[in-house]
Amino acid sequence: MICRKKETREEITVLIKADKALGEKMEIVSSIPGIGSLTAVTIIAETNGFELIKNKRQLVSYAGLDVREKTSGTSVKSKPRISKRGNMNLRKVMHFPALAAIRTDERFRNIFLRIVSKHGTKMKAIVAIQRKLLELTYILWKNNAYYDPCFDYYLVPSVAITV
């Protein structure tokens, strides 16, 4: 089993190196803190290179990281939760990169601490970081730009993203 995993990773590496444009895009995505080459490959494979994704909201909904609230008339049945109606593989693959980003990058750590202090739930903050990492992956992929910790990607208007 271990040998098979190693062979698969080597095949993926060979395929990425064979296509120069894809290799550059993978470097861009891997520049994000916490996201390694295997995570980048999985994100791009699951979204088909963001081929059918038009905006960040659509991507978040596709991954099942969008917030849903059960309501009926005037009654609210439960507190808001993520929908989980999207791609389970994307949600699974984003968990450990979110933890690594919180541990290594000051910006993501501050977001994590702010959400934990406000809501008191660490898992809610981790899911928020997962969502931010996925959105950031999409933004950098579309703009062909490397991650810059000083730049605020969420102030970029959605019109600036060319499809």
Query: Taking the model in full, what pTM does it have?
Result: 0.83
Residue 76 has pLDDT above 80, yes or no: no
Q: DSSP letters of the chain? A: -HHHHHHHHHHHHHHHHH-HHHHHHHHHHHTSTT--HHHHHHHHHHHTTTTS--SHHHHHHHHT-SEE--EETTEE-S--EE---S-HHHHHHHHHHHHHHHHH-HHHHHHHHHHHHHH--HHHHHHHHHHHHHHHHHHHHHHT----TTS-GGGS-GGGS--
pLDDT tens digit sequence for 125-160: 999 999 999 999 999 999 998 998 887 765 555 444
pLDDT tens digit sequence for 30-42: 999 999 989 999 9
